[in-house]
Amino acid sequence: MELNPLQTHVAQLYREGLYTHIGTWEDAQLTHDALFLFLLQEAEGYSDLDALEGYVAVASDQLRDFLEAVASVTGGIEEDVSGGDQTQM
């Protein structure tokens, strides 16, 4: 399936044009670049770059929240390991 004009624009902007040569969804999938594929998939449902930008900003905030949650759990695990039972098997 050919990329629509907004998806083509995303390919041109993403990582300084790394995937500018991509013209189809099938070729895009061959990149195995999850973020690029996410952006292309979302661009399929939006009519302009401004609307897509707003959605990506929301997704970015959600990712930031997730990373903070992971960091808090990881910090707790590290404390458990360093302060926990040091018994060797």
**Residue 87: is its pLDDT beyond 60?**
no
State the Cα–Cα distance between residues 44 and 50, nearest whole angstrom. 14
Contact 47, 54 (CB under 8 A): no
Single-letter amino acid code for the residue at 70: V
Determine the pLDDT at residue 21. Answer: 96
Structure confidence at residue 31 as a pLDDT band (50, 70, 90): very high
Predicted TM-score (pTM) of this structure: 0.76
**Residue 27: is its pLDDT beyond 70?**
yes
Structure confidence at residue 76 as a pLDDT band (50, 70, 90): low
List the alpha helices (DSSP H) in the chain: 5-13, 25-29, 34-43, 49-83
